[in-house]
Amino acid sequence: MHGSLRWWPIALLILLLVIPYSALPVPGLLDGPLGSPGSLQLIALCLLYGALATGYDLLLGRTGLLSFGHALYFATGLYATNLGMLELGLPFAAAAAFGVACAVALALLLGSVSLRVTGIGFSMVTLAFAQAGSILVQRNPGGITGGEEGRSAPAGRLPSALLGIENTANLYWIALAYLVLTLAAVHWAVGSPIGRVWQGIKENERRVEVLGLRPYGYKLVAFVLAGALAAVGGVVYLLLTGGATPQAATSDATLSLLVMVVLGGSGTRWGPLLGGVLYTWAGHRLGDLANSAAVADLPAVLRVPLSQPLFLLGGLFVAVVYLLPGGLARLPARIRAARSVRSARSAGPVGATGARPTGGSPA
């Protein structure tokens, strides 16, 4: 049984690969058939944010670092790539490399400063850097960021195979490739000797120091690797949306990643991915529900809160956290434990149904 279970990620990957060729209708989950451009766009965004949450969990779930500025590196990859094409005239591939390099350099610089403090101090420093980046984007210095409206990607610099609604499947496969890259990088890093040190830092950083290791360097590696993966995600997001917008640079974007990780299960292999997919899908689909005629016909006391997608998302998050401690990834283990307890209770005490001993009573 366990051998067959190990094959399910490969089966899921094959299923995801063939989705663009499918016309299967999924009413309630998507607006159209699986292979329609609208459905592929939404699924691609779900995969993108699932990968982003997985990369962010390198900090939160694997190393115990609560960063409120992770979206800054996602936004740096997004904006730097776009500016590389718009301002520097670079082709897309060179601009993407430029954007990721800028984000890695920024993560190295800001991480080396932020990690000088620990605990809540680290969280506040990362939040301050994220807020500074958000303000910089919105102030639009020299007109390079586009301010609140953002800037569209130059179509002339993008590959023709990535332009137009007829090429949505190509963008979907890029998002899927990014997810596979992130999962592979995180799995390799966590299983490496450095990953075992990260686990030790999360459990007891002082003990790691006693062993003669310097936690600072190991934490910086996790910080930069997570930032690099987020930057690649920014490049993919630029392709999916066709532009750079300031919403990607706000601290709220990092809070969304935090919710995704907690929702799916921090520190688990598949939990952040599951949380990112569910949160992104719910964010889009609950918006449609909030604007539906069914909600509009409700009494005001119900219509007003239910017409707010964030209210519905918050309710979903609270319900999962309250009913499923540890996130959705822990659900199978909790079900197995409940079944074991139920089986033990139904079996009764050992020997209760056994044969009675033979022989006469003692004298």
Query: What is the predicted pLDDT for the residue at 363?
Result: 38
What separation in angstroms does the CA of 137 have from each of 86, 170, 266, 288?
A: 16, 30, 30, 30
- Band (pLDDT 50/70/90 cuts) for residue 173 is very high
Per DSSP, the residues of 143-212 read: GSS-GGG-EEPPGGGS-GGGSSGGGHHHHHHHHHHHHHHHHHHHHHHHHSHHHHHHHHHHHHHHHHHHTT
pLDDT value at 286 more than 80:
no
Q: In this predicted model, what pLDDT tens digit does every residue of 197-212 receive, in sequence order?
A: 999 999 989 999 998 8
pLDDT value at 295 more than 60:
yes
- For the CA atoms of 30, 34, 37, 39, the dihedral, rounded to the nearest 10 degrees, stands at 30
Say if residues 263 and 327 touch (Cβ distance below 8 Å). yes
- Band (pLDDT 50/70/90 cuts) for residue 361 is very low
Q: In this predicted model, what pLDDT tens digit does every residue of 309-349 receive, in sequence order?
A: 667 677 777 887 787 777 888 887 777 777 787 777 777 66
pLDDT value at 217 more than 90:
yes
Q: Which residues neighbour 250 within 8 Å (Cβ) at sequence distance 6 or greater?
A: 71, 130, 134
Q: Alpha-carbon distance 269 to 203, whole Å?
A: 18
- Band (pLDDT 50/70/90 cuts) for residue 126 is very high
Question: What average pLDDT does range 198-227 have in this prediction?
Answer: 93
Query: What is the predicted pLDDT for the residue at 3?
Result: 47
Q: Tell me which of 112 and 28 has the higher pLDDT.
A: 112
Structure tokens at 54: 């997985």
Structure tokens at 306: 């239910």
Q: Tell me which of 110 and 285 has the higher pLDDT.
A: 110
pLDDT value at 169 more than 90:
yes
Question: What average pLDDT does range 299-305 have in this prediction?
Answer: 68
The pTM assigned to this predicted structure is 0.86
Query: What is the predicted pLDDT for the residue at 5?
Result: 53
- Band (pLDDT 50/70/90 cuts) for residue 293 is low
What separation in angstroms does the CA of 85 have from each of 95, 113, 152, 154, 219?
A: 6, 30, 11, 7, 33
Q: Alpha-carbon distance 74 to 178, whole Å?
A: 13
Q: In this predicted model, what pLDDT tens digit does every residue of 44-83 receive, in sequence order?
A: 999 999 999 999 999 999 999 999 999 999 999 999 999 9
Question: What average pLDDT does range 109-117 have in this prediction?
Answer: 95
For a pLDDT cut of 90, what percent of the chain falls above it? 48
Question: What average pLDDT does range 253-273 have in this prediction?
Answer: 89
Query: What is the predicted pLDDT for the residue at 338?
Result: 75
> Which of the given ranges, 127-136, 224-233, 269-278, has the highest pLDDT on average?
224-233
Q: Tell me which of 304 and 45 has the higher pLDDT.
A: 45
Question: What average pLDDT does range 12-22 have in this prediction?
Answer: 88
Residue that the structure tokens 């890259």 belong to: 181
Say if residues 53 and 276 touch (Cβ distance below 8 Å). yes
Say if residues 22 and 150 touch (Cβ distance below 8 Å). no
Question: What average pLDDT does range 272-296 have in this prediction?
Answer: 80
- Band (pLDDT 50/70/90 cuts) for residue 107 is very high
The separation between CA 72 and the C-alpha centre of its own chain, rounded to angstroms, equals: 15
Residue that the structure tokens 């500074």 belong to: 132
- Band (pLDDT 50/70/90 cuts) for residue 306 is low
pLDDT value at 19 more than 50:
yes
Beta bridge partners of 243: 152
Give me the amino acid identity at 118.
T
pLDDT value at 289 more than 80:
no
